[in-house]
């Protein structure tokens, strides 16, 4: 795990020092690669590659990067891990290649030399790499299938720059920094900016499962080499065959694939641990790994003193049952206050996900004992784990029993009901009604869904922080409404389409960004065993009936998990990894909110409607919980803006 950067200046005339610039760019990310550093330069071409190393495999200097092949005509700077590198190495040796190191970096380099970019089809792992191929004077960038590792690129006026993080781009004298306001609108809607866009104009994220080649004329070719949609399509075509197979056979086969993937993520020459939340996915990772280990594996958990948000007690129960070497840390508002000033440095593109804070805290905790930690991201998207899927599944079941001709009539009746009044009546019902949060908001969602022709569009709207209509009143610049684009596949059932949408957008551009920056900030390698291509390709072909059955989400995963951990540990509602940001915002963070969101400042900066922000802040301070989630992305952007634009 490392950090990479580089550039080609097609108009270089010796007007700046290539060496000074690449070193400066590289060392903005020194925290992510504290063990070694290197550069490669071809000054006459205006070419430079930079690398910061976090040593995980082959800790010797034989793993130094940028790395060259034996002929010196191919150079590589690489961030990631190829977990099956030993079997690829054996194949390369059979083709006559010799190796100086025991690193996966040298295997990647010689695999490219042997097979070109097609080598990526042999890799199981995570990666972002850049290869300078002198034979054809081309620079090739590539990103792993699921988008675990980040890779930004910039092209304007004859200068091409790439980097693991945006902050490195700022150090190049020819980088033009200009806020992309349409991307800002994307951020405000989702809390993140989906690839290929970024917060700056002319800066792009290389899409997961894609490679990019720029030739000596500055011409770019970009193409996908892997697409999970292909496997969803295959599964849809073979659905009857899947459903004809015994359920126990499916569960056994899936457990074998998961175990293989999880064990592969233990490949390292340094200590390895697991982030354990106590939920289904991380508990399954811990259970299968502990089953294979003769020693207690190390597990780490963050807890909250607020009971509603605290899953640490469940994680401890799982850890005690499995016999892991468990460490936990309870997060308090004063911990958040310490981290908030660091957020713009850690996340040099705005991120509206407040769970970035505990993710950083658990990374700091794990770093005290290990250099690599596994997390369980991807399980929800692949196996139907989110509460929203369950909610929409139940709503769809109701709607599908209402004749289409009657839906508009019922919707018209519901339009006459005030959501706030309904919430008030529900509250007065007290102990005679089952507990519910945000009753008014849920009523509005049901009402809209009832008259909508597209569950997918409604889902995207309802998981957004702001609708397009709300954005029009929040920002003081025109913006383009966001199409659903690649996040919809017409051949999939409605719930599977929601999972697909989250896998290709929310997962790589929010969750994986959050984990990558939080771990790398403390020189900890994060690994994602659910995102092994063998797992994703199998899971995406499984029919929904194996994932959502009789009102149970993650059905097949739970079937596997309960073989190893009793069901009683999981008989509780799913919390998710969230923080009490509403409560903290009204108490310990109140001063910061008032500093960054005051009307005079907002008016002066000329991006947001000051009155709209003031109204949100007022509602938040009045303990209207629904507005706390809307306020955090604005506050987070204000922090980022002060660091990177002012």
Instruction: Tell me whether strands 138-143 and 2-9 are parallel, antiparallel or unpaired.
Output: unpaired
Give the whole-angstrom CA distance, residue 628 versus residue 39.
Answer: 45
Active site residue 142: no
The continuous run of DSSP H or E covering 406 comes out as helix 404-414
Please name the residue ranges forming H helices in 347-403: 356-367, 379-383, 387-399
CA–CA gap between residue 52 and residue 35 (Å, rounded): 8
The token pair that represents 318 in the structure block: 């799982």
Cβ 68 vs Cβ 208: under 8 Å: no
CB 319 within 8 A of CB 299: yes
Q: Annotated catalytic residue: which of 2, 142, 364, 384? A: 2
Task: Report which secondary-structure segment, H or E, holds 420.
Answer: helix 419-429
Cβ-contact 388, 455 below 8 angstroms: no
Q: Please return the burial class of 36, using the count of CB atoms within 10 Å of its CB with bins 0-12, 13-18 and 19+.
A: middle
Do β-strands 36-42 and 272-275 pair in parallel, antiparallel, or remain unpaired?
unpaired
Query: If you search the block for the tokens 């504290």, which residue do you land on?
Result: 34
How big is the chain, counted in residues?
646
Cis peptide before 344 (omega within 30 of 0): no
3-class DSSP state for residue 7?
strand
Which residue in 287, 344, 345, 298 sits closest to 560, CA to CA?
287
Helix (H) or strand (E) holding 143: strand 138-143
What distance in Å separates the CA atoms of residue 569 and residue 317, rounded to the nearest whole number? 7
Residues classed as catalytic: 2
């Amino acid at each position: 795990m490392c950090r990479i950067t580089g550039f080609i200046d097609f108009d270089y005339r010796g007007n700046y020092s290539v060496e000074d610039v690449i070193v400066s760019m590289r060392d903005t990310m020194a925290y992510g690669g504290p063990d070694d550093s290197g550069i490669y330069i071809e000054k006459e071409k205006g070419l430079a590659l930079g690398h910061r190393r976090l040593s995980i495999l082959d800790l010797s200097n034989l793993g130094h990067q940028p790395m060259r092949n034996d002929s010196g005509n191919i150079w590589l700077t690489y961030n990631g891990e190829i977990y099956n590198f030993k079997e690829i190495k054996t194949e390369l040796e059979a083709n006559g290649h010799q190796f100086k190191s025991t690193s996966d970096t040298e295997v990647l380099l010689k695999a490219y030399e042997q097979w070109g970019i097609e080598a990526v089809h042999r890799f199981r792992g995570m990666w972002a790499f850049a290869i300078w191929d002198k034979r054809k004077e081309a620079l090739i960038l590539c990103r792993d299938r699921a988008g675990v590792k980040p890779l930004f690129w910039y092209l304007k006026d004859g200068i091409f720059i790439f980097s693991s993080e945006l902050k490195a781009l700022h150090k190049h004298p020819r980088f033009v920094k200009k806020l992309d306001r349409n991307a800002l609108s994307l951020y405000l809607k989702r809390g993140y900016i989906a690839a290929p866009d970024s917060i700056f104009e002319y800066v792009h994220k290389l899409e997961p499962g894609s490679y990019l080649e720029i030739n000596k004329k500055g011409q770019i070719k970009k193409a996908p080499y892997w697409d999970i949609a292909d496997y969803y399509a295959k599964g849809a075509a073979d659905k009857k065959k899947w459903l004809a197979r015994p359920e126990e056979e499916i569960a056994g086969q899936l457990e074998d694939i998961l175990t293989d993937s999880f064990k592969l993520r233990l490949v390292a020459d340094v200590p390895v641990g697991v982030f354990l939340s106590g939920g289904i996915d991380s508990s399954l990772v811990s259970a299968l790994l502990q089953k294979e280990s003769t020693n207690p594996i190390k597990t780490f958990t963050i807890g909250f003193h607020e009971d509603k948000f605290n899953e640490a007690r469940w994680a401890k129960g799982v850890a005690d049952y499995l016999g892991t070497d468990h460490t936990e840390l309870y997060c308090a508002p004063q911990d958040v206050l310490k981290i908030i000033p660091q957020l713009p440095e850690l996340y040099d593109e705005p991120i509206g996900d407040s769970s970035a804070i505990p993710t950083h805290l658990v990374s700091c905790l794990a770093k005290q004992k290990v250099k690599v930690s596994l997390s369980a991201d991807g399980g929800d998207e692949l196996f139907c784990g989110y509460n929203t899927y369950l909610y929409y599944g139940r709503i769809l079941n109701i709607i599908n029993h209402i004749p289409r001709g009657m839906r508009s009539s019922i919707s018209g009746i519901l339009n006459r009901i005030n959501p706030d009044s309904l919430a008030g009546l529900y509250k007065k019902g007290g102990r005679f009604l089952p507990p519910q949060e945000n009753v008014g908001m849920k009523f509005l969602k049901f009402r809209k869904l009832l008259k909508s022709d597209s569950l997918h569009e409604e889902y995207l709207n309802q998981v957004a922080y702001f609708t397009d209509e709300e954005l029009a009143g929040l920002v003081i610049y025109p913006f383009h409404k966001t199409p659903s684009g690649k996040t919809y596949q017409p051949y999939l059932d409605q719930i599977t389409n929601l999972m697909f949408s989250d896998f290709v957008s929310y997962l790589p551009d929010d969750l994986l960004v959050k984990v990558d920056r939080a771990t790398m900030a403390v020189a900890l390698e994060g690994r994602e065993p659910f995102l092994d291509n063998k797992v994703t390709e199998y899971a995406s072909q499984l029919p929904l009936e194996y994932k959502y059955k009789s009102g149970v989400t993650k059905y097949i995963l739970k079937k596997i998990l309960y073989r190893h951990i009793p069901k009683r540990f999981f008989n509780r509602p799913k919390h998710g990894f969230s923080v009490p940001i509403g409560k903290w915002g009204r108490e310990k963070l109140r001063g910061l909110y008032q500093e960054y969101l005051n009307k005079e400042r907002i008016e002066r900066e000329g991006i947001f409607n000051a009155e709209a922000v003031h109204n949100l802040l007022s509602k938040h301070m009045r303990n209207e919980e629904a507005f706390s989630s809307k306020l955090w992305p604005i506050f987070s952007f204000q922090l980022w803006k002060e660091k990177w634009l002012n």
